[in-house]
Structure formats: structure tokens, C-alpha cells
Amino acid sequence: MMIKKFAFILLTLLSITLGISQNTNTLTLSKFSRISVITSGPGEALYEKFGHTAVRVKDPVLQLDLIYNYGIFDFEDPNFYINFTKGFMKYKLARYPFYLSLKSAQQDGRWVKEQVLNLTQLQKNEFFNFLENNALPENASYFYDPFFDNCATRPRDIIQKVVGDSLLFKGDFVSENLSLRQLMNKEINPNTWGSFGINIALGSKLDKPATPSEYLYLPDYVFEALKVSRIIKGDKEENLVQKTNILLDFEEKKSKSDAFSPFLAIVLFFLLGLFITYKDIKNSKRTKWLDFTLFFTTGILGFLIVFLWFFTNHSTAPNNFNFLWAFAPNTVVAFFLLKKEPPMWIRKYCLVLLAFLLLIPVVWLTKIQLYTYPIIPLFILLGIRYWYLQKTFKR
């Protein structure tokens, strides 16, 4: 799968480098041209789970049939992973023959729908010129934000720019009052490691109710929004979408739980920790490796949360209430717990951690921040172990 994606990206970039049959910068679209928004269904890879949005420009007179794709990135960029971690995810607009995009979707078994926009000839050419200028090497790159600036929001923004006050954006497609996190969890099964990691890494900004416009970070909702929106042409109000075509009619890929899922892994660890704690109470002892594992792991995750919050450009990483259980100082405390007789202040420290855990249901129920359900057994185990430790160090 990854090799195929690299090959496709390479072919795409090659098409850009060599040019596409003619110099489109000097062209004016004919009256037979059409500009469409292309929506693709979800794929198998994590970054494909949300589907995809792109723009198609077709003109039979000029023999043009191009796709403008704002979702191109390169794993082989030597700085890709460093920049990704820091929140500087560099994507680019690529322009290439439409058949390549359709061929890729066909190979992946992803449905593809086309919405032909109801634009005037002037608006078509303005749209085309905007895309052409954006596709120039000096303009093609942009810093990607998965929730606020991505392959779906870019076409939305161009439509708003080109159509202006003539666009009547309708929010009728929104039937539930969901947050960005809830929308994300509808697309990626929460019981997968990808979703689990994202839910831990990102903060409470994802938990505010999303506006209809903010729904459009997801391609499915771009499709639905365009379907109900209107455009003023002259003194008449018409549908923004002139025609909808189904180009590939595959069954939508459902997001499934991982075979060895986060919930399964945490439940198994919870049962082990519960059994060990029971034995420790019965035998009046303390299993040091379990305490070290719990404290060191939650501490490392805490440092990751602090790093993402304060030292990166991720727009949704700040104000992350996962610090209530993933507490960075635990990393240091873990080494004290390897001692046969740890310092007595650890008792008070465990009481503080218990207080933090008791705040989690409040944060969750008031929807300040939603937690991912596979982590619930870990919360219970941490509570039991902290309670046991503060009782142990009390003696």
C-alpha cells in the first residue's frame, strides 16, 4: 500500500515537472468547461480514513481534464517526521490528469462522487486562474492543519472567494450538535491505536461544539453542504450544485476496531494489575515493577502532552486535560518507587494524583474535554494503585 502511494506521488510530481500537454497559464476556459468538486470515500491508511476532497477542471474544447489536489505530502522528505511532530506539516497543491486520481481510487476500492458547480463563465475562469496560480511551485506549499486547513477546507474557501456574496451557504446538513472530536471519532474507530493516540495528544479545543462551517474539515460534510447550498445568479436563486455524478460506486469502507485493540490491551493490563494489587494487599508487600511501569509510562505520556502543548505549532494540542492522569513528574517518581523504602512524601503525592483522577469524571461529564473510552480501565487501575500506595506509605 505505501509503495503504491509513493509511486503515485512520484508520478504526480513528475507530471507537474514535465507540464501537462500545454501551458494552462495562458488559457481561457470555453463555455463548455465545468468545474467540479470531487469527493472520495475513506481508504485503508490512517490518513485516508476521512476521505478526500479535490477540484476537477474539465474543458473538452481545450482538451483539459485536470485534478487539483491539496492533499499531497512526502513521507520521504528528510524533515517530514520532525516537522510533523512540531506541527509544521507541509502539504502542497498538485495538478495532474484526472484519470490518475480515478485510477488510484479504483485500485483502492474507494467510491468517488462529482459535484458540478453552477458557476458563471466569469466565475469558472476566476476559479481556474486561482487554482493555476496556486499550483505554481512558489505558491503550491502550505502548512496543513487537519481540522482547520486541509484538502477539504481549501476547496470550500476557494468557492467562497470566487462566488462571494452570491453564495448562500446552508447549514441544513448539520443534524447533530457535535464537536470536532466527536466528528473525528465517527470517522476513525476509537478502538484503534491511531484514534487512541490522537485522542490523548490533542486538547479541549476539539470539544467545543462545531459550527456548520467547521464541519467542513471532513470531505463527507463538504459534499453535503454543497448539496444544500444555493447561489444567486442574476435575480434568481439556484442550486450551487448543477449536477452530481457517481464516478466509482464502491461500498464505503467501514472503520473497524484493531484486532489487538487499545481496549483489549488495557483490559489485560488492568486485570494483571488488579491481581497483583490483590496479592500485594494479601501478602503485605509491594510489587515495585508494576509501580515503576505505571508511573514511568504515565510520566512519559505527560511529557509528550507538555511538549505538544507548549513547544509545537499544533493548533489543537493546548489545554489538554489528559495531564490529569498522564502527569509528567511521574517519570521521576517512578525511580523512587524502585527503592525498598521510598520517601514518605510519596503518600501525599499519591493523594494529589487521586484528586486529579477524581476531576476526570467532572471534566468528562461537563464536556470540557471528552476522553476516549478504551482508557477507562487504566483510570480505574491507577485509582486503585494510588489508593493502595498511599495506604502503604501511611504505615
10 compared with 270, residue with greater pLDDT? 270
Per-residue pLDDT reduced to its tens digit, 223-259: 999 999 999 998 899 999 999 999 999 999 988 999 9
pLDDT at 84 (0 to 100): 66
> 53 pairs with which residues across the strands?
39
* Cβ neighbours around 329 below 10 Å, total: 15
Q: Is the pLDDT of residue 6 over 60?
A: no
pLDDT at 187 (0 to 100): 93
Task: Give the pTM.
Answer: 0.88
Q: Is the pLDDT of residue 50 over 90?
A: yes
pLDDT at 18 (0 to 100): 43
pLDDT at 47 (0 to 100): 82
Average pLDDT estimate for 374-388: 98
pLDDT at 45 (0 to 100): 85
Let me know: does 208 contact 178? Beta carbons within 8 Å.
Answer: no
17: pLDDT confidence band, cut at 50, 70 and 90?
very low
Range scoring the smallest mean pLDDT among 53-57, 80-84, 174-178, 203-207: 80-84
Give the distance from CA 68 to its chain's centroid: 21
Let me know: does 341 contact 228? Beta carbons within 8 Å.
Answer: no
Domain ranges of the chain: 2-174+212-248, 262-392
> 68 pairs with which residues across the strands?
55, 95
Q: Is the pLDDT of residue 157 over 50?
A: yes
Q: Is the pLDDT of residue 2 over 90?
A: no
Average pLDDT estimate for 55-69: 96
Largest CA distance in the chain: 88
Per-residue pLDDT reduced to its tens digit, 85-126: 677 788 899 999 999 999 999 999 999 999 999 999 999 999
Let me know: does 127 contact 257? Beta carbons within 8 Å.
Answer: no
Let me know: does 351 contact 390? Beta carbons within 8 Å.
Answer: yes
Let me know: does 192 contact 261? Beta carbons within 8 Å.
Answer: yes
Q: Is the pLDDT of residue 76 over 70?
A: no
pLDDT at 78 (0 to 100): 65
65: pLDDT confidence band, cut at 50, 70 and 90?
very high
% the chain with pLDDT above 90 = 81
Per-residue pLDDT reduced to its tens digit, 297-348: 999 999 999 999 999 889 999 999 999 999 999 999 999 999 989 999 999 9
DSSP readout, 141-172? EEEEBTTTBSTTHHHHHHHHHHHGGGEE---T
pLDDT at 74 (0 to 100): 66
pLDDT at 317 (0 to 100): 94
By C-alpha distance, which of 237, 238, 24, 259 is closest to 129? 24
Average pLDDT estimate for 176-193: 94
Average pLDDT estimate for 373-389: 97
What mean pLDDT value characterizes the chain? 91
Rounded-to-integer distance, Cα 276 and Cα 249, Å: 53
